[in-house]
Amino acid sequence: MNHHIEDPQNLVTLILRNIRLENVSGDYHKMLKKLGAYENKMASKSCWIIDFTDERELAEILRQLQELGFLFVGIEPAGWSPADIFENLRGKHLVSGHVKEIRWRGPGDWFITER
């Protein structure tokens, strides 16, 4: 088993009407602001939100997050995960390359693959 002491950082956790990023390290705050991101504190937990208007803008933002090395969550019980969405956009030739996908087996037990 791969048990980790720290929670993983720089996660793309949800994409619905906007993109939600969690556990963002301070090194990325300036870059995210340049992408139009803003910090949102939810129940004492901070997350970053990036709004987008259409599929092309979504693809461009995800491409930039991919270049920054963000981890894309690979399982979303309520619908498509961020990794699934990236893969779909890649199939439409709106993005290219691979993303780092993160999944959990249980609390503190996560692993990263390339997708």
| Sign of the dihedral through C-alpha 34, 40, 44, 47 | negative
Q: What is the pLDDT of residues 55-95, one digit of tens each?
A: 999 999 999 999 999 999 998 777 899 999 999 999 999 99
Residue 12 dihedral angles phi and psi, to the nearest 5°: -95, 105
Residue of 59, 75, 79 lying closest to 67 (CA atoms): 59
Specify the pTM: 0.91
- Could you give phi then psi for residue 107, rounded to 5 degrees? -55, 125
